[in-house]
Amino acid sequence: MVPVPWADPVDFRAFGDLGGRATAPMKYFVYCRKSSEAEDRQALSIESQRRELERTFSTIPEVEIVEWIEEAWSAKAPGRTAFDAMVHRIEQGEAGGIIAWAPDRLARNSVDGGRIIYLLDRGILTDLKFSTYTFANNSQGKFMLNIMFGQSKYYSDALSDNVRRGNRTKLENGWLPGRAPVGYLNDPVTRTIVRDPERFPLVERMFTLFLSEPHSVKQIATMARSEWGMTTPRGRRSGGRPIVLSTVYKIFANPFYAGQIIRRGSVYAGQQEAIITLAQFDRVQEILGRPGRPRPKTHHFPFTGMIRCGACRSMVTAERKVNAYGSEYVYYRCSRRSFGPRCSERSIEARALERQIIQFLARVSLPKAFLDWGRAVLADDHIEQALRADVERQSRTKAIKDIDRQLTELTGLRVRELIEDAEFIALRHDLEQRRARLRELVLDPVETLGTSRLFEDADLFSKQAVNLFLTGDIPTRKMVLEITTSDFSLKDKKVSLQAAKPFSLVAKNDEFLLGCTPGEDAGTFDASSCALRMNGHGDDAQSRPPTPPCPSRTELARLLDAELQDPECRERLRRARVLLEDQGFLDAA
């Protein structure tokens, strides 16, 4: 048999690709993605995706893996760093295919999905491989892939709509969606917000210290971190660290602690336990935004920042002095010494200043005769006060209903596009703020108290004012003065203190109230029994000033009721009650 020449073994590699099939493996990027958001709670973790892809594709000879790319980022919006870098490298020719666990790992938005389809159309991207889906690079395969990308986007959009609807319902019910602020905890059982037993009292203490005004925000943050050991709530990825200054600023600026929730320009009445009132929250904002208020920096003095010089009206500051024997003294002086004409007012030693303050506090204390008379007068007016309080409550309730009607009409105007969106938001915010304040007045137990109860609160605080001042720390002493005084000046080493409501009534009329007793008809005062037995007025008749005529019972009743019903007076009594509870003189209600 004659051998056939071409029957000898032939190396077909010399002829190249004769069968139309690639002889070299194709290069792929492997992309694994996991988002911590709700859209991917049912998806495999990155480690699980990688293990599944290794088991499926690592043994296929036609597949050459260039690099494993992992990314923990949501795909519902474009802008993923690792994904964009991978697409750019594919356009540069480093690989021709992508391997992923499922199509929704590559895209959940129209932009990234369109980029994948366009790369396939241009032939730059030639193949896609998935563990859960078989892709063919033809017209039908790209059509099905486009549908799967669209389905992923629809799922993400529908999930966002459901979340927004749930958040709106939660806000309308008075609960904050998302993580609770410092001082509160999310209750996973009731899906509400409850007080944090560890941090709620600390946040409450922070507001109390700041409202007493001897402390700056930085000092409170340092105290919370160093002395109290306060930390942020521990979460899955963060928390458990010492509280920082920026967090304290956020606490003081958050109306959530006053019982309000503000979201997208709307105000909602929160159901959580409030730490402060709206009036106190407004006060905090005033202190935060007030420029030029002298505050203690290195040393802590009880009266700096609240005394003015009686000559030039500049603020009075304090400084420490040490004599030749090593004894230390604190002096208060006018701060107008470093610029302009030097103030001629002399300094006063702290102990001399405190003695005059104690004399003032003793002077504004309510005398027993005045207390007995006040109780007798107010007892007669108790029924009238109850009726008036009920009328005020009904008036406020009616005003709240009127605001609800205005909000409904305002929403109708916006729906019919009769007003612009910006105007709608501004008007709605104003109405909701007014409604929140009216609701607080209706529900506030202090606002519902009659004059009799407020009178008793003033009596209780006045009896303990001197004791609180003598035994209290710097914040306590300062708060006592803020409650009892409205103007504090110093001139010629003499303290001038203007008593604040409700103590101003006694300060104005003490010359006839101290020692006065009601007449027999209980309608007038016995002027002959009036005596000045305090503050330097001794028994010597020559040292006493002329006794002024006593006002009528009706006039004094009107003055007392007007002062105790004043909003500023009620706020002072509220702070006095908090101070008495904090110092153990009164059981917390």
The sign of the torsion formed by the CA atoms of 245, 249, 254, 255 equals positive
To 10 degrees, what angle do helices 553-564 and 451-471 make? Answer: 70
Cα Rg of the chain, angstroms: 38
- Residue 23 is classified by DSSP as S
Contact between 435 and 278 (Cβ < 8 Å): no
Instruction: Give me the residues of the chain with pLDDT under 70, please.
Output: 1-23, 36-44, 213-214, 237, 290-300, 337-341, 365-390, 441-457, 502, 504-565, 586-589
pLDDT attached to residue 481: 84
For the beta carbon of residue 574, count every other beta carbon within 10 angstroms.
19
- pLDDT in the model for residue 119: 92
The CA distance from 266 to 424, in Å, is: 11
Which has the closest alpha carbon to 459: 503, 500, 497? 503
Return the pLDDT at 512. Answer: 40
* pLDDT tens string 34-51: 875 544 454 567 888 888
Torsion of CA 165, 167, 168, 172, to 10 degrees: 140
Round to whole Å and give the CA distance between 353 and 6.
Answer: 123
Q: Is the peptide bond before 502 cis (omega within 30 degrees of 0)?
A: yes
At residue 294, the pLDDT reads: 38
Phi, psi (degrees; rounded to nearest 5) at 239: 95, 180
pLDDT of residue 491: 84
Do the Cβ atoms of 429 and 407 come closer than 8 Å? no
pLDDT digits (tens, 9 = 90+) for 201-230: 999 989 988 887 667 888 888 888 888 888
Q: What local confidence, expressed as pLDDT, does residue 556 receive? A: 60
* 518 C-beta neighbours (distance < 10 Å), count: 18
